[in-house]
Structure 1
Amino acid sequence: MTDRRLAIDAWESLFRAQHEVFGDINQDFDEDTLSQAEYDVLLTVTRAPEMTARLRDVTSNMLISQPSVSRLVDRMAVRGLIVKCADPDDGRGSLVRATATGAAQFRKIASAHGRAIAERMSLLTDDELAQLRDLASKLRKKQPTC
């Protein structure tokens, strides 16, 4: 049986570390260029084949609700960062494709953002980083319930 107090202490430490790190690296974003949320949309889209992803895949990678993602995508389309169109394989779905402008803005920020993340995470050794990645992945997987 898991030690309840230890579990709570570990959770609080993880939560506070995440909050502090996120606060540090969130400074990489400028609302006039790309917000954190817009960056996250473009991250999913630019990694997809032909820089095109299903809207539902974008939504599943975001930490905001589906209606919020839809509104965000619509605003990004108006700004010329992405193009949204019907999914020919799913009559109810949409595809989201990065424009040249959106991809260029993403690449510009991604480079600086990647450096900031690497610098912040340099407090850990490569072995510790791998362990952290593996432990976080384990926590993200839903555990079967009895």
Structure 2
Amino acid sequence: MTDRRLAIDAWESLFRAQHAIFAEISDDFDDTLSQEEYDVLLTVTRGEDLTARLRDVTGNMLISQPSVSRLVDRMTARGLLTKCPDPHDGRGSLVRATDEGSALFRRIASRHGASIARRMAVLSDEELEQLRALTAKLRHTAPDD
């Protein structure tokens, strides 16, 4: 059985580390693209032909489905995305990065990636692999497993 105090201490340490790092790298975003918009474009630009299903975008976000839909609609109005019905799912939509959206994403992603790499450089490659494996395990394991 897991030591409860150790679990709480580890959780607090993880939470505080995430908070500190997030505060530092949030400076990568400016008035041209918010963190949430970046996250949408991250999912969309990884898709074939810079396209993703809206439900996949929603699945990668940390906000509710209605909030994602409103965000995508605002990004469409700004010319960063296009949105159309999904021909394979009559209830779904496809979103595609426009040339403007893709270019803006690449510009911010370059700066953001460099910030993340600088901040994470305190860890060795082996430690980074361990961290990735541990956080994946935390995300994908049910509490009773």
Query: Where on the TM-score scale, by shorter chain, does this alignment land: which range?
Result: over 0.9
Root mean square deviation of aligned Cα: 1.0
Structure 1 counterpart of 2:110, one-letter code: S
Which AA in structure 2 matches 1:36? Q
| Counterpart residue type for residue 5 of structure 1 | R
Aligned partner of residue 137 in structure 1, secondary structure: helix
Confirm or deny that 1:63 pairs with 2:51.
no
Q: Which residue does 1:120 correspond to in 2?
A: 119
TM-score (norm 2): 0.98
Give the structure 2 partner of residue 79 of structure 1: 78
Partner in structure 1 of residue 135 of structure 2: 136
**Match of 1:2?**
2
Q: Which residue of 1 aligns with 2:45?
A: 46
Change (3 A) 1:34 1:66: same
Amino acid of the residue matched to residue 112 of structure 1?
A: R
Q: What SS class does the counterpart of residue 143 from structure 1 fall into?
A: coil
Question: Cα distance, 1:53 vs. partner?
Answer: 0.2
| Structure 1 position 121, deviation (Å) | 0.3
CA distance in 1, matches of 2:138, 2:116: 21
The equivalent of 1:24 in structure 2 is 24
Aligned: 1:37 with 2:39: no
Give a deviation string over 1:112-136, Cα, whole Å, max 9, x none.
1000000000011111111000000
Cα drift, residue 144 of structure 1: 6.7
Say which SS state the counterpart of residue 123 (structure 2) adopts: coil
Letter matched to residue 106 of structure 2: R
Q: Which runs of 5+ in 1 are unaligned?
A: none
| Closer, same or farther: CA 10–28 of 1 in aligned 2, 3 Å | same
Determine the C-alpha separation between the residues in 2 that align with 1:56 and 1:18.
26
**Cα distance between partner residues in 1 of 2:59 and 2:141:** 15
1:38-85 superposed Cα distances (whole Å, 9 cap, x missing partner): 000000000000000000000000000000000000000000000011
**Larger displacement relative to structure 2 (134-143 or 10-19):** 134-143
- Any idea what SS the aligned residue of 2:102 has? helix
> Structure 1 pair 24/125, CA: closer, same or farther in 2 (3 Å)?
same
TM-score by length of 1: 0.97
